[in-house]
């Protein structure tokens, strides 16, 4: 059984007892425990079920590489599935529950898969579940989905908040073991700005567990001193509980800091995402121990040797009373010594190497422990817990020599450097034959913005495994003088062991787990190779090896060694799969951070926004803006409100908040020339004080934006754009000015937010402005399409006499800070003229009644001005403008293009939005032929009937023809082609 020892445990605080629960069982633990150590202290070895066969799963590791120990943590709005117990700090009251079983962890119906595992090898589902066809969606897939998946589904909105922060550094050191601390000290002493990131709460890494001395003092003391030194330096920031999750181009490093994960609900953010830009990254990320592949290596109680040691030294935990150690290297003997120190029994060390010498094995022998040379484990006994192992000759086929009773197996297959950050951004690996590992190839590092290497791996992350190698390597990164020295003994080389025993037959191989979470065995990889899935990526995808939540941290190297063997090729010829961010799974909330709810995206408010809010507004999102769709009065429907606004604007006076309209100032000696290229019409000849409507096309010739251009002065033009187009058009202008016409003397400035703009519309428009006084807005002084600047009712105003409604209309811009006051002034002064605000829907109807086009309705990226009968807005004289060449291409110049017309239903109803006019027959692909479509359609309160515009093939030549528009539910709408101007064709109202 696993239990807490009476003493020991350098990371736990025995004076601070806490209680956690696991599957409802309350368990005493101490502050400093992880969830894993907490349950192990209470003899809870089995903590979950595997993904595919639902086999019992125990804790295997003590860190981020743990494949099995995932639990649901918390409840309700703080429930979090798939929480890795080995890296989650225990806290008082933590509720945990095991996953992927029904009805219980101990008795799981899904384990029937295990009974049939022989018939469910890797990739079996590609070969079956095909008949009958409908069964995939309706029977097989739902069943597979139910038995797959892992964690439970959270149901509530997250109760926690998350932050993001930025940091800048010369050097980021990832990992605060002795390698990272050594490198950080060197970098810091050279004056660089240094950030040190450590994923666990404590620094020191493996050295403090292994317990040798550095420069004459115990590792623990050396580490504490180094941390103190770093914390005392102004140019160093050391962050614990911070995981460097991914490295991106140009030294962009993401790091997730756990702030309140272990103190939930204390008001602090749960996590903070650091976005760090750094010139250099030092990866001192250590190495991960490899398991050994022997039959039954997935049974709870079989653990990594270093993890067994960690639990004993760091947490004062005995995993078992009798621990058999199986290894191919010297390091695992440290586990034997640690267990012996704790008073536990080690029946034997099974070493696959034929002869074992060296200081560490000798120390173990000296304490009376048998070392079985050239031996392996043929098979582990046990179901939900190890009960013993069968010892065999490693070089043989698995015949039992002796059986050892035990309740824990500590295995070590050597170590693999953690190369993820090195690899994320293109760093390459080399196969180090002597060390039997992939490690960073210093000659092929990831390159930074300057084309030089931006990452350097040091210590175990660079393949240096003995303490002196580690320190020498890390010291060399920045240091001068001599590297720190240790008293750690020399270690003999490990000997690669990929299968145990070497000659194991198919029966044993089918029980050797490579990936215990996804249930991928040696036999599965061999099957993949046999079936031709020879690329390491094919094998991975076919068997799901390394695709579990641990992303193959412990399984990948063993897997590709087995694959290489099956393909009779060297390991480097097989290569690795790609290391992708993040290093460990990163909470989505941390990525999204504060961008939620109302502030999911920035909200742009016009200066009049709050007034609208207070006056019954129904909002419509337009880009980041919100615009009033209409203003509803008590008891009024949206439709009724819109109709009221239309009628009132046509008969009295309407006010529109047009502040969202793009307003881009274009200024400079070449501004006229520039605008002549940008717009299809001529803007350079526009007299000062005049307005001109203009169209902009993209290079392909398609209409992209429209608006009124105003000549403010000799060298300045003000370009109005659509509300949604302002930023895009400003970017478009700058694109041309910066990339193509960089020698033109033009400046642009987006003044959209500097002005509030109000459209004053209707027969009483002039009257209300005259009442405000201060400027002559008469027809004679300020005729249609002119502009004047002056004072209006005491406000500095720019008055544009333009109209998008067919009514007498002024658009008036005032400084944004005065927008609200000016609006209220207009409302007040307009009372006697029947003033009402109106929204975007009314705006749309007013313009549609007049046959004016709307960007985004009449246009969709495939429409050219000529389609909209707007050839008048295209200069014939100009040698060039953006889109001109595009429009000359045969398809755009074709007479068969669909052109804009008005459409009137025969029964006065409203045509459906987006409906198509059908033509007889079908095309070569069997699709119904079409000859037009509806682009805008509204109920016109002015005309008391439906009106629409549409694009119709040869439309303007077919006035009076009736077209069929199939609508919803089989209904066909019939509409007649008419002139696109429905109201006031002579323009008398605007001319008033």
Partner 1 sequence: MKRYSGFAVAREGLNYHLGWGRAWRNPAPRKKYDVIIVGAGGHGLATAYYLGKNYGIRNVAILEKGWLGGGNTGRNTTIIRSNYLQDPSAAIYEKARSLYETLSQDLNYNVMFSPRGLLMLAQTHHEVRGYRRTVYANNLQGVETEWIGPDRVKQLVPIINIDGPRYPVLGALYQARGGTARHDAVAWGYARACSDMGMDIIQQCEVTGIRQANGKVTGVDTTKGSIDCDKLGLVVAGHTSVLAEMGGFRLPIESLALQALVSEPIKPCMDVVVMANTVHGYMSQSDKGEMVIGGGTDGFNNYTQRGSWQHVEETIRALVETFPMISRLKMLRQWGGIVDMTGDRSPILSKTPLGNCFVNCGWGTGGFKAIPGSGWAMAELMAKGAPGPLTEEFSMYRFREGKFIDESVAAGVAH
958-977 binders of partner 1 (CB under 8 A): 966-967
- Smallest distance from partner 1 to CB 937, Å: 9
Residue 457 exposure: Cα atoms within 13 Å on the Cβ side: 29
- Smallest distance from partner 1 to CB 214, Å: 36
Q: Which one of 115, 370, 580, 985 is in contact with partner 1 (CB under 8 A)?
A: 580
Tell me, residue by residue from 40 to 59, as one string, x for binding to partner 1 by CB under 8 A and - for no binding.
Answer: -----------x--------
Decide: is 853 part of the binding site for partner 1 (CB under 8 A). Answer: no
Decide: is 588 part of the binding site for partner 1 (CB under 8 A). Answer: yes
- Smallest distance from partner 1 to CB 148, Å: 5
Site for partner 1 in 439-458 (CB under 8 A): none
Q: Is the Cβ of residue 17 or residue 149 nearer to partner 1 in the bound state?
A: 149
Tell me, residue by residue from 918 to 957, as one string, x for binding to partner 1 by CB under 8 A and - for no binding.
Answer: x----xxxxxx-x--x------------------------
Three-state SS letters, 734-747: HHHHHHHCCCCCCE
Tell me, residue by residue from 804 to 843, as one string, x for binding to partner 1 by CB under 8 A and - for no binding.
Answer: ----------------------------------------
Decide: is 265 part of the binding site for partner 1 (CB under 8 A). Answer: no
- From residue 156, how far is each of 78, 82, 544 by CA, in Å? 8, 16, 31
Site for partner 1 in 543-572 (CB under 8 A): 544, 549, 551
- Smallest distance from partner 1 to CB 864, Å: 9
Contact 736, 682 (CB under 8 A): no
Decide: is 461 part of the binding site for partner 1 (CB under 8 A). Answer: no
Tell me, residue by residue from 512 to 531, as one string, x for binding to partner 1 by CB under 8 A and - for no binding.
Answer: -----------x---x--xx
Decide: is 734 part of the binding site for partner 1 (CB under 8 A). Answer: no
Residues 6+ apart with CB under 8 A from 337: 360, 363, 364, 367
Contact 404, 320 (CB under 8 A): no
Decide: is 67 part of the binding site for partner 1 (CB under 8 A). Answer: no
Decide: is 738 part of the binding site for partner 1 (CB under 8 A). Answer: no
Q: Is the Cβ of residue 238 or residue 842 nearer to partner 1 in the bound state?
A: 842
Strand pairing class (13-22; 95-98)? parallel
Q: Which one of 228, 234, 366, 598 is in contact with partner 1 (CB under 8 A)?
A: 598
Decide: is 601 part of the binding site for partner 1 (CB under 8 A). Answer: yes
Q: Is the Cβ of residue 217 or residue 862 nearer to partner 1 in the bound state?
A: 862
- Smallest distance from partner 1 to CB 563, Å: 13
Token pair 């005032």 is at which residue?
A: 814
Contact 811, 658 (CB under 8 A): yes
DSSP 906-965: TTS-PPPTT-EEEEEEE-TTSPEEEEEEEEEEEEETTTTEEEEEEEEETGGGGTT-EEEE
Site for partner 1 in 603-662 (CB under 8 A): 603, 620-622, 629
Decide: is 898 part of the binding site for partner 1 (CB under 8 A). Answer: no
Decide: is 785 part of the binding site for partner 1 (CB under 8 A). Answer: no
- Smallest distance from partner 1 to CB 843, Å: 13
Sheet containing strand 402-405, edge to edge, reads 375-382, 386-393, 402-405
Helix, strand, or coil here: 516? coil
Tell me, residue by residue from 672 to 711, as one string, x for binding to partner 1 by CB under 8 A and - for no binding.
Answer: ----------------------------xx----------
Residue 5 CA to its chain's centroid (Å): 44
Q: Which one of 111, 233, 476, 592 is in contact with partner 1 (CB under 8 A)?
A: 592
Decide: is 892 part of the binding site for partner 1 (CB under 8 A). Answer: yes
Site for partner 1 in 140-199 (CB under 8 A): 141-142, 144-146, 148-158
Q: Residue 984 has which token pair?
A: 């006031």
- Smallest distance from partner 1 to CB 515, Å: 13
Q: Is the Cβ of residue 311 or residue 736 nearer to partner 1 in the bound state?
A: 736
Decide: is 113 part of the binding site for partner 1 (CB under 8 A). Answer: no
How far apart, in whole angstroms, are the C-alpha atoms of residue 630 and residue 40?
Answer: 64
Q: Is the Cβ of residue 353 or residue 844 nearer to partner 1 in the bound state?
A: 844
Strands (E), 734-846: 747-750, 755-761, 786-792, 795-801, 809-815, 835-837
Cβ-in-10-Å burial (0-12, 13-18, 19+) of 534 comes to: middle
Q: Residue 91 has which token pair?
A: 């806290």
Q: Which one of 14, 367, 507, 639 is in contact with partner 1 (CB under 8 A)?
A: 507
Q: Which one of 780, 890, 895, 920 is in contact with partner 1 (CB under 8 A)?
A: 890
Query: How wide is the angle at C-alpha 71 spanned by C-alphas 69 and 72, nearest 5°?
Result: 170
Q: Is the Cβ of residue 596 or residue 639 nearer to partner 1 in the bound state?
A: 596
State the number of binding residues for partner 1 (CB under 8 A): 115
Residue among 66, 326, 40, 62 at smallest CA distance from 209 = 62
DSSP 433-482: TTTTEEEE-TTSPPB-TTSSB-EEE-GGGGT--SHHHHHHHHHHHH--SP
- Smallest distance from partner 1 to CB 51, Å: 8
Q: Is the Cβ of residue 643 or residue 809 nearer to partner 1 in the bound state?
A: 643
Site for partner 1 in 291-350 (CB under 8 A): none
**DSSP state, residue 859:** -
Q: Is the Cβ of residue 790 or residue 967 nearer to partner 1 in the bound state?
A: 967
- Smallest distance from partner 1 to CB 918, Å: 7
- Smallest distance from partner 1 to CB 891, Å: 4
Contact 289, 415 (CB under 8 A): yes
The piece of 228-236, 685-693, 788-796, 856-864 that touches partner 1 (CB under 8 A) is: 856-864
Token pair 């919100």 is at which residue?
A: 626
Decide: is 889 part of the binding site for partner 1 (CB under 8 A). Answer: yes
Site for partner 1 in 189-248 (CB under 8 A): 246, 248
Contact 585, 549 (CB under 8 A): yes
- Smallest distance from partner 1 to CB 164, Å: 9
Q: Which one of 15, 103, 107, 133 is in contact with partner 1 (CB under 8 A)?
A: 133
Residue 654 CA to its chain's centroid (Å): 45
Contact 777, 786 (CB under 8 A): no
Q: How many CB atoms lie within 10 A of CB 906?
A: 10
Q: Is the Cβ of residue 28 or residue 149 nearer to partner 1 in the bound state?
A: 149
Q: Is the Cβ of residue 417 or residue 427 nearer to partner 1 in the bound state?
A: 427
- Smallest distance from partner 1 to CB 884, Å: 12
Q: Which stretch of DSSP H or E encloses residue 904?
A: strand 898-905
Helix, strand, or coil here: 654? strand
Q: Is the Cβ of residue 98 or residue 323 nearer to partner 1 in the bound state?
A: 98
Decide: is 81 part of the binding site for partner 1 (CB under 8 A). Answer: yes
- Smallest distance from partner 1 to CB 76, Å: 11
Residue among 122, 43, 91, 985 at smallest CA distance from 546 = 122
Q: Is the Cβ of residue 363 or residue 854 nearer to partner 1 in the bound state?
A: 854
Contact 590, 162 (CB under 8 A): yes
Decide: is 267 part of the binding site for partner 1 (CB under 8 A). Answer: no
Contact 513, 519 (CB under 8 A): yes
Decide: is 254 part of the binding site for partner 1 (CB under 8 A). Answer: yes
The piece of 408-416, 763-771, 811-819, 885-893 that touches partner 1 (CB under 8 A) is: 885-893
Helix, strand, or coil here: 538? helix
How far apart, in whole angstroms, are the C-alpha atoms of residue 180 and residue 175?
Answer: 5
Residues 6+ apart with CB under 8 A from 753: 604, 816
């Amino acid at each position: 059984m696993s239990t807490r020892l009476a003493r020991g445990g350098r990371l736990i605080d025995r004076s601070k007892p806490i209680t956690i629960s696991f599957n409802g069982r309350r368990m005493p633990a101490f502050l400093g425990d992880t969830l894993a150590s907490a349950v192990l202290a209470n003899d809870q070895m089995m903590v979950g079920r595997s993904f595919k066969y639902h086999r019992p799963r125990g804790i295997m590791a003590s860190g981020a590489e743990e494949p099995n120990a995932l639990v649901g943590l918390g409840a309700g709005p703080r429930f979090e599935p798939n929480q890795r117990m080995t890296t989650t700090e225990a806290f008082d009251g933590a509720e945990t529950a095991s996953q992927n079983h029904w009805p219980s962890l101990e008795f799981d119906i899904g384990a029937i898969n295990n009974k049939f595992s022989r018939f469910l090898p890797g990739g079996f589902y590609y070969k079956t579940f095909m008949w009958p066809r409908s069964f995939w969606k309706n029977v097989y897939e739902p069943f597979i989905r139910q038995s797959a998946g892992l964690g439970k589904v959270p149901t509530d909105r997250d109760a926690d908040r998350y932050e993001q922060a930025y940091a800048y550094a010369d050097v980021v050191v990832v990992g605060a073991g002795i390698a990272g601390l050594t490198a950080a000290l060197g970098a810091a002493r050279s004056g660089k700005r240094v950030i040190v990131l450590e994923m666990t709460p404590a620094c020191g890494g493996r050295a403090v567990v292994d317990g040798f001395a550095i420069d004459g003092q115990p590792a623990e003391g050396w580490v504490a001193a180094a941390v103190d030194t770093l914390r005392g330096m102004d140019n160093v920031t050391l962050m614990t509980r911070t995981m460097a999750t991914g490295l991106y181009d140009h030294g962009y490093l993401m790091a997730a800091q756990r702030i309140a994960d272990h103190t939930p609900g204390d008001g602090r953010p749960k996590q903070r995402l650091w976005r760090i830009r750094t010139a250099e990254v030092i990866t001192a990320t250590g190495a991960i121990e490899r398991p050994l592949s022997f039959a039954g290596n997935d049974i709870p109680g079989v653990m990594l040797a270093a993890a067994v040691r960690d639990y004993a030294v760091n947490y004062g935990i005995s995993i078992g009373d009798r621990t058999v150690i199986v290894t191919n290297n010297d390091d695992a003997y440290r586990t034997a010594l640690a267990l012996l120190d704790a008073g536990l029994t080690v029946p034997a060390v099974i070493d696959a190497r034929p002869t074992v010498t060296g200081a560490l094995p000798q120390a173990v022998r000296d304490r009376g422990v048998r070392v079985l040379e050239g031996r392996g484990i043929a098979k582990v006994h046990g179901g939900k817990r190890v009960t013993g192992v069968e010892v065999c000759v490693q070089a043989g086929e698995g015949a039992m020599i002796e059986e050892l009773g035990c309740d824990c197996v500590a295995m070590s297959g050597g170590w693999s450097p953690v190369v993820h950050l090195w690899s994320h951004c293109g760093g390459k690996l080399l196969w180090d034959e002597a060390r039997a590992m992939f490690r960073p190839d210093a000659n092929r590092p990831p390159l930074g913005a300057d084309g030089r290497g931006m990452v350097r791996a040091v210590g175990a992350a660079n393949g240096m495994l003995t303490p002196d190698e580690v320190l020498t390597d890390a010291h060399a990164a920045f240091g001068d003088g001599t590297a720190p020295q240790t008293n750690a003994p020399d270690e003999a080389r490990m000997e690669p062991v990929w299968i145990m025993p070497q000659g194991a037959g198919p029966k044993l191989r089918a029980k050797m787990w490579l990936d215990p979470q996804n249930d991928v065995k040696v036999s599965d990889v061999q099957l993949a190779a046999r079936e031709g899935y020879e690329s390491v990526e094919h094998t991975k995808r076919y068997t799901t090896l390394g695709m579990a939540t641990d992303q193959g941290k412990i399984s990948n190297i063993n897997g590709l060694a087995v694959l290489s063997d099956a393909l009779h090729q060297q390991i480097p010829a097989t290569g690795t799969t790609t290391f992708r961010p993040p290093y460990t799974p990163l909470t989505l909330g941390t990525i999204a951070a504060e961008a939620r709810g109302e502030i999911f995206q920035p909200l742009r408010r016009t200066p009049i926004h709050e007034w609208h809010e207070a006056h019954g507004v129904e909002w419509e999102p337009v880009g980041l803006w919100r615009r009033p769709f209409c203003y509803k009065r008590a008891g009024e429907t949206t439709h009724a409100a819109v109709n009221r606004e239309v009628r009132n604007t046509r008969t009295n006076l309407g006010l529109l908040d047009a502040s969202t309209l793009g307003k881009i100032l274009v200024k400079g000696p070449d501004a006229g020339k520039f605008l002549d290229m940008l717009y299809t019409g001529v803007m350079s000849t526009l007299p000062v004080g005049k307005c001109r409507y203009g169209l902009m096309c993209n290079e392909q010739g398609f209409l992209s934006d429209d608006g009124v251009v105003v000549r403010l002065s000799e060298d300045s033009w003000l370009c109005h754009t659509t509300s949604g187009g302002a930023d895009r058009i400003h970017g478009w202008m700058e694109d041309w000015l910066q990339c193509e016409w960089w020698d033109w003397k033009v400046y642009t400035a987006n003044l959209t937010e500097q002005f509030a703009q109000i459209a004053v519309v209707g027969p009483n428009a002039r009257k209300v402005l005259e009442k405000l006084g201060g400027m002559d807005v008469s027809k004679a002084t300020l005729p249609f399409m002119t502009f004047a600047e002056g004072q209006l009712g005491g406000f500095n105003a720019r008055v544009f006499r333009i109209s998008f409604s067919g009514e007498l209309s002024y658009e008036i811009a005032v400084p944004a800070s005065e927008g609200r006051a000016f609006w209220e002034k207009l409302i007040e002064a307009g009372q006697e003229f029947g003033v009402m605000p109106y929204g975007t829907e009314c705006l749309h109807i007013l313009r549609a009644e007049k046959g004016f086009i709307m960007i985004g309705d009449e246009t969709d990226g495939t429409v050219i001005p000529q389609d909209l009968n707007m050839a008048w807005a295209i200069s014939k004289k100009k040698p060039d403008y953006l889109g001109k060449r595009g429009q000359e291409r045969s398809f755009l110049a074709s007479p068969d293009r669909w052109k804009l017309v008005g459409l009137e239903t025969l029964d006065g109803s409203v045509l459906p939005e987006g409906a198509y006019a059908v033509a007889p027959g079908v095309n070569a692909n069997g699709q119904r032929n079409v000859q037009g479509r509806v682009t805008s359609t509204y109920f016109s309160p002015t005309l008391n009937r439906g009106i629409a515009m549409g694009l119709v093939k040869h439309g303007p030549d077919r006035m009076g023809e009736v077209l069929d528009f199939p609508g919803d539910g089989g209904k066909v709408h019939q509409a007649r082609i008419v002139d696109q101007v429905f109201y006031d064709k002579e323009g008398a109202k605007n001319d008033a």
